[in-house]
Amino acid sequence: MNPEEPDMPSELNEAAEPDSFKAMMIGATLIFIISFIPYAGLICCLPQWLGVLLTIHLYTSEYRLTLSTGQGIKLGILTCLLAGIAVWVVAMGLYFGLDYQVGAKESEWLALTMAEKMGGEEAVEQVKASLAQQQAKGLGVMEIGIGLVSSAFFACIAGLIGGALGAALFKRGQKD
């Protein structure tokens, strides 16, 4: 150590509280990127679970910790909320700025395919009429609010499951 330099604490100072923000940002970025891949929304919670598992893996690896189930759930929910709100904000920006609705084509395809398989041509025509009516109406304040609340709720559920799974899978040392 150079005598002219002041004593610097080590990066892994045991007295310092482990910081999960970097791991959460990386996991949330993975979720964010996957969310804009066409048809990725059709695989339910898998993108969120992958993002949470990455977050917990990075966090437990860096600090050599084993998280309790509650700590894993907390980290998972926060990661998913961070990503979910970011996706919602960007999606609203794309909708109002460029008149582009993320996932609309995929949702339309899914609705028409299901209508065809379950109800035949009459059901397909009803779904087409409903989609046209909905598109003409656009998004109102209520739909925007429902979208935000449902994004947050879905993020909490996905984060809960992914966090519990991550805490069970990644055991790196003593419990935090």
Sole residue written with tokens 């304040």: 141
Tell me, what's the pLDDT at 13?
47
Render pLDDT for 117-147 as a digit per residue (tens, 0 to 9): 887 888 888 888 888 887 777 778 998 899 8
Contact 76, 53 (CB under 8 A): no
What residues in the chain have per-residue pLDDT under 50?
1, 8-10, 13, 15
User: Would you say how long the chain is, in residues?
Assistant: 176
Tell me, what's the pLDDT at 17?
76
The domain locations on the chain are 21-99+144-169
Give residue 152's Cα distance to chain centre: 9
User: Distance between CA atoms of 56 and 24, rounded to whole angstroms?
Assistant: 8
Tell me, what's the pLDDT at 150?
93
